[in-house]
């Protein structure tokens, strides 16, 4: 990923992440959390050690998707577990096998870096992503639930 691609990616990623948090946090708090998490996990941007930001292109060289993988588990920093922070396929290119191809490439990158497992979080409403992960051999290890009370 080039710097200009990184700048566009992080702006989109922060906005989407804040939107996804909107159900559990007020909008301003969600935006702030998105900024804080970005600063924590990518403090040196593209140069952040053990973090890889990838661009996926089709055969014609057009960008079809992106991925962000940390080559260590975010809480413990163990390199035994890599962590997939984000995977995205351009909307008009979805349902064409690109997500699976990107996921396979991320798994190979993590394996080559010495990880024996790849972890990720997925929101419960993201059924297409859940289906991708389940058919790729991923298993649920933790689950959060919420009930709206008012």
Q: What is the CATH number of the domain that holds 80?
A: 3.40.630.30
Report residue 119 as tokens: 């972890």
**82/114 same-domain check:** yes
Other residues' Cβ atoms within 10 Å of the Cβ of residue 85: 19
**19/79 same-domain check:** no
The reported pLDDT for the residue numbered 36 is 93
Whole-angstrom distance, CA of residue 38 vs CA of residue 95: 28
Q: Contact 132/99 with Cβ under 8 angstroms? A: yes
The whole domain housing 2 covers: 1-46
Instruction: Determine the 3-state secondary structure of 76 from DSSP.
Output: coil
pTM: 0.88
Residue among 77, 9, 110 nearest 138 (CA): 110
Q: Contact 53/1 with Cβ under 8 angstroms? A: yes
Mean pLDDT over the full length of the chain: 92
**56/76 same-domain check:** yes
Calculate the alpha carbon distances from 107 to 17, 74, 133 in Å: 23, 17, 12
Whole-angstrom distance, CA of residue 56 vs CA of residue 90: 10
Whole-angstrom distance, CA of residue 34 vs CA of residue 16: 9
Q: Contact 83/74 with Cβ under 8 angstroms? A: yes
**35/78 same-domain check:** no
Whole-angstrom distance, CA of residue 143 vs CA of residue 138: 14
**54/16 same-domain check:** no
Rounded-to-5 percentages of helix, strand, coil across the chain: 45, 20, 40
User: Which residues of the chain fall below pLDDT 70?
Assistant: none
Report residue 38 as tokens: 């970005």
């Amino acid at each position: 990923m080039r710097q200009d691609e990184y700048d566009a990616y992080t702006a989109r990623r922060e906005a989407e992440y804040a939107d996804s948090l909107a159900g559990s946090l007020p909008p301003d708090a969600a935006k702030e959390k998105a900024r804080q998490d970005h600063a924590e996990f990518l403090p040196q941007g593209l140069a952040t050690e053990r973090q890889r930001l990838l661009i996926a292109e089709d055969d014609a060289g057009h960008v079809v998707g992106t991925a962000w993988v940390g080559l260590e588990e975010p809480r413990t920093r163990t390199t035994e577990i890599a962590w997939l922070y984000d995977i995205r396929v351009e909307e008009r290119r979805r349902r064409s096998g690109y997500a699976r191809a990107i996921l396979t490439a991320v798994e190979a990158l993590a394996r080559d870096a010495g990880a024996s497992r790849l972890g990720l979080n997925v929101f419960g409403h993201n059924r297409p992503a859940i289906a991708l992960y389940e058919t790729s051999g991923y298993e649920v290890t933790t689950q959060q639930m919420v009930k709206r009370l008012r």
